[in-house]
Homo-oligomer: A and B are copies of this chain.
Amino acid sequence: MSLNQSSDHNRRIVLASRPKGAPANDNFRLEQSDIPKPAEGEVLLRTVFLSLDPYMRGRMSDAASYAEPVAIDEVMVGGTVNRVIESRLDGFAEGDWVLSYTCGWQDYALSDGTMLVNLGKNPPQPSLALGLLGMPGFTAYMGLLDIGAPQKGETLVVAAATGPVGATVGQIGKIKGCHVVGVAGGNKKCDFAVEELGFDACIDHYAEDFDQQLAAACPDGIDVYFENVGGKVLDGVLPLLNTSARIPVCGLVSQYNATNLPEGPDRLGLLMGTILTRRLKVQGFIIFDDYGHRYDEFYQQMSDWYAKGKVKYREQVVEGLEQAPEAFAGMLEGKNFGKLVVRVGEDS
């Protein structure tokens, strides 16, 4: 046992207050509690990896969204990979690796099997279930293929190009024969997108001439823009969209911390006008709600691509549950490089 994870008590990070703007340390509180005992029909889980993802910012707010907000003093939500410590539930045995969507930011939790997936005794790389083979990879796969419907020779643009969604979108785009242009923050990430992930180009969104660089990288316009950030990337993309372009919308990270609408002019009508005159399809989706029934198809295909080296995956591991708040806040500013996970406990 290390990483301060104990067999005597549970550590958990609760939502202490709702952030105004960027989340700060005092929006979270690290607490101790007893390790619960499983009743009949329950399992006790110990967390090994915690996933940090942009959608969690929305859950910290009480504005209306697609999911209930986390209540004040409740444990922060998040996907986790855990070991089963004790099982009184059919289908789960002590030592099994599982993927849980109800445990959240803590060492131990009970589960009655709801939103719990058994990964078996010895998965080769358990944290993949939080990334390439989990929610981010699934989001990339369905959003791009079902809504984006990329055709060979078309131009695909995706931001957060080294993040788990963007990197996967771009690599699937290459498999489908697209001209793939990424957007990322800084040369290091851009080089990685081109050299390691095989993107045709990647533009640094910090560049002063970002719009011009993006236009130069898309000489035939843009046919699919996979929207995960919004803000100035979208501003640069809008004038380049071709007739009948598709925009799957899975996230708007750049505006999650905004406390007010930006100053005018009001471009809502301009966006609607662009949708009309260019005959765009702009469609939001929430991966498990809209596509849960196609998870198996995704899992098979993505496992195959990964095994064959057609899709690569980069992970950034932060050590220790207590580091989660700062790592999460940094991610919203683009400080991570690859899929961000927290190692909460040892494998065994």
Closest 7 CB pairs of A and B: A264-B264, A261-B265, A267-B268, A276-B284, A275-B284, A262-B266, A281-B283
> Nearest CB to that of A239 among chain B residues?
B64
A60 to chain B, nearest CB (A): 14
Interface size class for chain A?
Answer: 35 or more
- Determine if B268 and A271 form an interchain contact, defined as CB atoms under 8 angstroms apart: yes
Among A264-292, those with CB < 8 Å from B are: 264-273, 275-286, 289-290
> Nearest CB to that of A231 among chain B residues?
B269
A285 to B230, CA, bound (A): 23
- Determine if A279 and B284 form an interchain contact, defined as CB atoms under 8 angstroms apart: yes
Q: Given contacts A279-B284, A282-B282, A285-B279, are A265 and B260 in contact (CB under 8 A)? A: yes
> Nearest CB to that of A264 among chain B residues?
B264
> Nearest CB to that of A262 among chain B residues?
B266
A253 to chain B, nearest CB (A): 11
Among A128-160, those with CB < 8 Å from B are: none
In the complex, whether A252 has a CB less than 8 A from a CB of chain B is yes
- Determine if B269 and A266 form an interchain contact, defined as CB atoms under 8 angstroms apart: no
Q: A65 contacts which chain B residues (CB < 8 A)?
A: 277
Q: A258 contacts which chain B residues (CB < 8 A)?
A: 269
- Determine if A269 and B283 form an interchain contact, defined as CB atoms under 8 angstroms apart: no
Listed residue (A66, A266, A276, A277) with the most chain B CB atoms within 10 angstroms of its CB: A276
Select A282's contact among B234, B255, B265, B275, beta carbons within 8 Å.
B275
In the complex, whether A209 has a CB less than 8 A from a CB of chain B is no
Contact with B along A173-191 (1 / 0, CB 8 A): 0000000000000000000
Segment with Cβ contacts to B, from A215-223, A243-251, A331-339: A243-251
In the complex, whether A263 has a CB less than 8 A from a CB of chain B is yes
Q: A275 contacts which chain B residues (CB < 8 A)?
A: 249, 282-284
21 A-B contacts, Cβ less than 8 Å apart? A65-B277, A66-B243, A227-B272, A230-B272, A231-B269, A252-B269, A261-B267, A261-B269, A262-B266, A265-B266, A266-B267, A267-B267, A268-B271, A271-B272, A272-B282, A276-B284, A277-B284, A279-B290, A280-B282, A280-B283, A281-B284
- Determine if B276 and A266 form an interchain contact, defined as CB atoms under 8 angstroms apart: no
Q: A250 contacts which chain B residues (CB < 8 A)?
A: 276
Q: A265 contacts which chain B residues (CB < 8 A)?
A: 260-264, 266
A291 to chain B, nearest CB (A): 11
- Determine if B276 and A249 form an interchain contact, defined as CB atoms under 8 angstroms apart: yes
Q: A271 contacts which chain B residues (CB < 8 A)?
A: 268, 271-272
A76 to B250, CA, bound (A): 43
Q: A270 contacts which chain B residues (CB < 8 A)?
A: 261, 268
